[in-house]
Every structure is written in structure tokens, then in C-alpha cells.
Structure 1
Amino acid sequence: MSERTLQMKQPVLIMGGSGQAGSDTAAVLREWYPDLPLAIAGRNLDRARKVADELGNATAVTLDLQRPDLGLPAEEDFSAVVAAVRDSRLYGLGYAQERGLPYLSISSGLVGIAPEVVAGAQRASAVPVLLASHYLAGLVVLVALDLAREFGRLDAIRIAAVLDDQDAGGPAALDDLERLAAVTSAGLVRRDGAFTWVSGAEAEVGVPSIDGVVLPGQRIAILDVPSLALATGAGDVHFDFAVGASAGRRRGEPASTEVLIDLEGTGPSGDPLRTRRHLFHPAGQRPLTALGIALGVERLLGLRGEPAGPGLHTPEALLDPALTVERMTAIGTTFATV
């Protein structure tokens, strides 16, 4: 039996699988891989069963994040562990490491990632660990890297994202936003090649929406900044973020999500080059976040390409930018030139 066949027989454990991010990810994986079994793990077993029954080829299990064994039966076998909910005790990561399973997380954030990095580094040879606490689980980074291929040298990357306040996610996602906001109001930027923190008035910015409205926002600390800076060598990188009414909602439509990606540098011939794209999805952040997670699971398991090797990984280290843009376009994302 091939490794891929074996992986398709063992369920992917989705912690928080009955929440928005988890259930949406499960739906994407089910669409791509009808034969891939899924284990929907949640604190409320009835909610988990409802999600599992709707998916088919899925089971529901009770999740206890205060126990190192997650409250799961000892005889259960899985192919990967996805933390679609905050794993504050890192029991999910420990569970994966003990059993040799790939692990993906999305909610640590830049300011809370140190314990996860240390835990992963201490057992770097055990399992692949995908740190995907980026915006939209890494999709913005990958779109920017796809655009960056037009450049000979990239000097500056400026990201500006609008999250509709009616599209911030479920209770767990709202808790994450509140927790990260409480930890720091400073933003991490790369300026003249150096990583530095900005705060106060320097961190207050206007974030342009796709319809021209400018929302008050903040320059934030997010993993997209070091990911983009180190992947491209750009000396100036920042990520601006606003929460408020999106362009879609101002038109009387559902909440949308939108991200301005602004790249500046030189082309292959050395001439000045600037590219600006507005990423837009009419259904908000949920389908894109789920897509980002599903792409990570697919790569970790080797369902497309080779399985990821042991160690710490970020989305841009594992995923193909061109394929990512193709998948985003297929689910209704548009990229408008500004």
C-alpha cells in the first residue's frame, strides 16, 4: 500500500472542526478528495456530528484542549492534525509530534508564536509543522510572491487589508482578534532592511478600500511581514489593517474581503517597476481562509506533490504561488489592477 493510499485511509483530525474555519476547510477538502476521511473534533459533540454528517465520510469526536491526549481514544489513528482553533497549551502539537503526524496551525499570530516555534524546533526531526497564522492562512503572501516574479529586484511591499466587521469569524476567531489586539498595538515593519516596531501615531494609517473609501486602520504585527521580507529581500515591508464596513456591504451586498498588494522595485532590465493589485472576494474572508488551510493540508500530506519533510515550515516555503492564485480565482477571487 502506497503512503498516499494509506494517508487517504486515515482521517485528518480537524481541531475546531465544527467552527467556521474548521468546517469550511473540511468542506474544501471533501470537494477535492471525496475519499479522504475527516475527523471533526469539537467541544460540542452534537455540532461536530452535524458537520460530519453533512460532509459524509467523516466522524465526530469530542475535543478536550486541556488534556495532552485531547480526550481522544488511544486507538484512534489520524493522518494529520489541523488546529483550526487556538491550541494555547500546544497539546495538539504535542499529540501530533508523539504520533508522527503533520501539524498545521492558524491562530498563534506573530506576537504569540514563540512557544510554538520552540516546541517545533525542539523536535524538528519529528514531524512537519506548518505555521500558517498569516492573513488568510498565507494566501496574501503567496499572491504577492506570484506578482513578485515580474521583478528583477523588489524594494518595497505594502499590504493593506480590509476585514468587514461582520465577517470576523466565529467566537474563536473573535477571541483571537481580541487577544492579539490586547497583546500589542504596535506594528512590525521592515524599514531599510531592518525589522522594527512602530507604535502610536506612526502606526495609525488609512486603509484604502477597493471602492475608494479610506478606513482608519493600524500598521500591525503579522507573520506576513517577515515572510515577505525574507522571501523576497525587499528592504521595506509593512501590513496595514482596518476593520469596518467593506465595499461589498456598502453596495448592499454580503460582506466582502479585500487586500491591496503594492510592489515596487525594478524589472529584469533594471527599469523602475511598480505593480498594484486589489484582491477581492465577494463572500468575505471565510472561503479564502479555508482555501489557505486546505492547500496546506494537501501539501503536508503529499496529496499534491511530495509530502512535506520534518521541521518548521511557513506557507511560502511549501506552496506554489501560481497554483494558489489559480485556486483562488476558481472560487471567485478577482485581482484588479489599481
Structure 2
Amino acid sequence: MEHSKSVLILGGSGQAGASTAALLRRWHPELPLTIAGRDLGRAQRVADELGAADAVTIDLRRGDLGLPGGRSHSAVVATVWDSRLNGLRYAQDHGLPYLSISSGLMDLTPEVIAGAQRTTAAPILLASHCLAGLVVLAALDAAREFAHVETVHMAAVLDEQDAGGPAAIEDMERLMAVSMAGLVRRDGVFTWIGGAEAEAVEVACADGVVLPGQRVAIPDVPSVALATGAPNVHFDLAAGESTSRRRGGPPSIEFRIDIEGTSPAGTPLTTTRHLTHPEGQRPLTALGITLGIEHLLGLHGPLPTPGLHTPESLIDPTYATTRMTEIGTLPITP
């Protein structure tokens, strides 16, 4: 991969995009970056702070993204919703790796079809999972001690003051407007649930406070279910006051993974991973995106083949959890 060409970050001046760019700059100081946004002044300020970066305006309604002619890039990263798939088409037309994070489970169908129609164009990383795939990777890392996984229960608490920037809020409102149904795997069958079964859910915080939540339709469910073979998988999400903010601190995020199954010796085995980041979802989402970019560009591991990928198909779970610790993710102990 030619790393003299820049990574084009769509929405690069937003919270997820700017934080991703900062992390990439820290880990890969020589990697050129292009901060693309609707407001050139805002994008330029982010680029100036990074160094080895430039800024452009984009128009996601246009097939050429409104980019100046003669530009070349090494990858396209959509940290905002690529609603018309023009970012994806641009990447395919130019043979560039592509990563997206803002598609709901139902929105993934057009991306999958676009990728299936042009399987040799370039690798496409579908990372519209919680924290761009980090919960899935943490679950798979925890599942490595099992010979057989029967149940995986995932849950996350997002502080209501940590919903992200305007684009993230729009994404959340859009996804909730499409469906309040949840997706679970039950006895090996992927099942849509609604009503009280999806909405009358409680999620416990680290300090024991219980928040109302919802059993959500999210790519984490099929990713974990198919990667582990677990016949029973669900993901619960709650938004409210986080443990950190109740203690007078900033909004934090926490997520919990409970796994049941059998050990290599054939005995019953259970494990729990309960993790938090004191700065909320932003640094973890940025990390998930950054890990994806690293792998798409061959900066960590071999270059991926063209076609469709998910975070767990590219990124080693142990490497991901190590990086999570490095950026300040902390375990929550009972």
C-alpha cells in the first residue's frame, strides 16, 4: 500500500473523525491524512493541529464527493453516515479500502450488495458495531478460554451527555426511528423481538444503579454469535447518568460481557468482563476505527483481500484489548 497518499477521513472534523486522526497521528506520525468536512475552516483547524495533514470540503451528495481533481488517497474512512454510498462508490472506483461505522443493521444491506457486486475492487470494512467493533473484539478475547460457548450477553451504558456530536445524534435518532425491535440469537436462530421483550430491559451500572435499557438490533449480535458459535446472544443498551458522573466526574462509558459455556476440560465455565473508559465513548470509537485503518493499510498485519470484512475478521482480539488498556480503558471489579 502506498503510504505517501493520504487517508481520506469523511467527517474528519467531527468528534469521531478528529479523535481518530489524532490517534493515527500518534501511532503513525508519517501517515498523511486528509480531513474532509462540510466546513473548510473547521477541517483546516483539525489538520493544522495534526501536522502532515490537509483539509478539503466534501459533498456526500456527489459521486466525486466534490473533491478537487487530481487528488489520490490510500483509503476512504466514513466517520459520518454515507447515506448515498458515494464514499463507498468513490473508494471502489479508485480501488481504495473503505471503512464505515454509522450504518444500522438494516442499513448494512446496501453496503453488502455494493461490496458483493464488485468483490475485486478493494476491501470494505463494515464496522458499524458498538465502539466500531471493540465490544465484539473484547468478547472474542474473553471467549478464547472456552471450548464451547453457549451464551454471550453484552450490555453497554452510554452517558446521556456523551451522545457525540451532531452527526452522531442524527444517526441515533435515525436508527431509533426505523425500528424499536431488537435482534437476538436464541437457540441458534436469529430472531427479531419487539414490545416489552425488547424494551423492558434493565442494565446495571458499576455502582449498582440500574438504568432502563433496550435489547437492540446491532451488528455485534451476529458477529459474536457466528464467531463463537454461541446459540444465545443479545446486546442491551442503556443511556442515562453514568457511574462517573454520579460521583462528580465526567461522563464515562462502561460495557459488560458475560459468557457461559464449557472449559477445555468439559466443566461448566463462566466469565465476566466489565470495562469502562473515564472519557466516554469518543476515545474507544476512535480506537476501533484506528485499528480498522491500520489493518486495511497493512500497518499491522497483512493487507486484507478485496471484499467484505468485519472487525473480527481482520483484527486480533488480544491486540485490540491491549490497545484498549493503553488508551485508558479500565476493568471494573465487583
Q: Deviations over 1:98-157 (max 9, x none)?
A: 000000000012121111111111111110000000000000000000000010100000
Tell me the residue number matched to 2:210.
214
Alignment match of 1:46 (pick from 41, 48, 51) = 41
Match of 1:241 in 2: 237
Unaligned runs of 5+ in 1: none
Amino acid at match of 1:37: P
CA RMSD, 1 decimal = 0.7
Which of 253, 258, 269 pairs up with 2:265?
269
Structure 2 residue corresponding to 1:76, chosen from 55, 59, 71: 71
Displacement of 1:336: 3.0
Which residue in the other structure is 2:132 paired with?
A: 137
Q: Which is further off, 154-163 or 109-118?
A: 109-118
Does residue 20 in structure 1 map to residue 18 in structure 2? no
Is 2:183 the partner of 1:188?
Answer: yes
Q: 1:79 aligns to what SS in structure 2? A: strand
1:92 is matched with 87
Q: Aligned partners of 1:305 and 1:263: how far apart in 2? A: 28
Match of residue 256 from structure 1:
252
TM-score (norm 2): 0.99
Deviation at 1:337, TM superposition (A): 4.6
Question: Cα distance, 1:84 vs. partner?
Answer: 0.4
Q: Tell me which amino acid in the other structure corresponds to 2:320.
A: T
Q: Return the offset for 1:290.
A: 0.0
Q: Identify unmatched segments of 5+ residues in structure 2.
A: none
Q: How many residues align?
A: 333
Q: Which residue of 2 aligns with 1:231?
A: 227
Quote the Cα distance in structure 2 between the aligned partners of 1:337 and 1:124: 45
* Aligned partner letter, 2:33: L
Identity of aligned residues (%): 66
Cα distance between partner residues in 2 of 1:208 and 1:150: 25
Structure 2 residue 172 is matched with structure 1 residue 150: no
- 1:277, CA displacement in angstroms? 1.5
Shifted more, 229-238 versus 117-126: the winner is 117-126
TM-score, scaled relative to structure 1? 0.98
1:314 aligns with 2:314: no
> 4+ residue runs of structure 1 moved beyond 2 angstroms?
335-338
Residue matched to 1:124: 119
Work out the CA distance in 2 between the residues paired with 1:194 and 1:337: 33
- The structure 2 residue matched to 1:333, chosen from 309, 329, 332, is 329
Do the aligned partners of 1:276 and 1:337 also contact (CA within 8 Å) in 2? no
User: Aligned-pair distance for 1:85?
Assistant: 0.5
Q: What is the one-letter code of the residue matched to 1:109? A: G
Superposition deviation, residue 305 in structure 1 = 1.3
Q: Which residue, 259, 273, 286 being the options, matches 2:282?
A: 286
SS in 1 for 2:106: helix
